[in-house]
Amino acid sequence: MRMFKAELLAKKAVSPNVIEFTYSRPLNFNYLPGQYISIVVDKITNRSYSLNSPPLNSETISSLVDISPGGKGTTYLKKMAVGGLITFKGPYGHMILPDKLDTYKNLNFIATGTGICPFISIISHLEGADFTGKINLLYSEKYQNDLLGLSNLKIDNIAISLTREEVKGYNYGRVTAYLKKLPREKALFFICGNTRMLLEVIKLLKRDGVKDSKVIYESFYY
Ligand SMILES: Cc1cc2nc3c(=O)[nH]c(=O)nc-3n(C[C@H](O)[C@H](O)[C@H](O)COP(=O)(O)OP(=O)(O)OC[C@H]3O[C@@H](n4cnc5c(N)ncnc54)[C@H](O)[C@@H]3O)c2cc1C
């Protein structure tokens, strides 16, 4: 896999724990919506970050990073000043749109936390594609303040849930409680977030008769 260098152009706090990092897009760096890059942190450490930027017509690339883990990767990024350079490899990842998009009536996205990041890229990209089906999203965060902005995205059906507080206008509880809301007709499911949630959602979908081939997922951490 090729190595690229990119300059950090902007750092913007988008929620109490999440920073959006925007980088210059290296020449010849191409990727598909939903893919991620692997940033070189030191000689023995790399960390993966999904791109939330849509790949077409963009001179920059960006990612949404939850800096709360405070390990090597997030400390490295937190300390990096605008103008600094990152080295990365990529793109990686199979959580991408299928070739025959028009065979689907529903694209169902299920995300927790920064698991929404690759879906922002995919959903933004779909606006320029001729997909005539519905885009449906289940998205969950712990608190209302953690919610990442989705107002620029065209989403047909959206159910946002908070797991640690009850707030008017939002569902309360985990995404698994709202799975039944997602349409099943000619549906493709995308799931992204922590492993525990992924396994639970996959189990429930399977129980409902959804075929493995109709579920695409990426785990960010256990
Ligand atoms: C394919 C892939 C794509 C990813 N994309 C993103 C992304 O777009 N945005 C993003 O913020 N992270 C993303 N991650 C997670 C990221 O790679 C790092 O694991 C994370 O930033 C923590 O790195 P660290 O070195 O600071 O902490 P580590 O020392 O690696 O981890 C410390 C602890 O934090 C937990 N942890 C890791 N990530 C999170 C998180 N997001 N929320 C809560 N706890 C966590 C780990 O399970 C571990 O227990 C992705 C991971 C993978 C595998």
> Which residue has its alpha carbon closest to ligand 1 atom 18?
47
Element (H, E) at 128: helix 117-128
pLDDT at 88: 98
Which residue, chain included where needed, has tokens 């920064």? 114
216 to each of 55, 150, 203, how far by Cα in Å?
20, 21, 13
115 CA to middle of ligand 1, Å? 10
pLDDT at 151: 87
Mean pLDDT for 9-38 is 97
| Residue 126 CA from chain centroid, whole number | 14
Which ligand 1 atom is at minimum distance from the Cα of 74?
26
130 CA to middle of ligand 1, Å? 33
Domains in the chain, start-ordered, CATH in brackets? 3-92 (2.40.30.10), 101-221 (3.40.50.80)
96 CA to middle of ligand 1, Å? 20
Give exposure, 93-129, as e/b (b: 16+ Cβ within 10 Å). Answer: bebbbeeeeeebebbbbbbbbbbbbbbbbbbbbbeee
> Which residue has its alpha carbon closest to ligand 1 atom 51?
220
Phi, psi angles (nearest 5°) of residue 121: -65, -45
80-114 pLDDT, tens digit per residue, is: 999 999 999 999 999 999 999 999 999 999 999 99
165 CA to middle of ligand 1, Å? 24
Q: In what order do the strands lie in the sheet with 60-66?
A: 45-50, 36-42, 85-92, 3-13, 18-24, 60-66
pLDDT at 188: 98
**Residues paired with residue 108 on neighbouring β-strands, in sequence order:** 136, 189
User: Does the model's pTM come out above 0.75?
Assistant: yes
53 CA to middle of ligand 1, Å? 19
Percent of the chain exceeding pLDDT 70 equals 100
Q: How confident is the model at residue 136 (pLDDT cuts 50, 70, 90)?
A: very high
In whole angstroms, what is the distance from residue 184 CA to residue 128 CA? 24
pLDDT at 213: 96
Residues with CB under 6 A from ligand 1: 36, 47-50, 63-66, 68-74, 113-114, 117, 218, 220-222
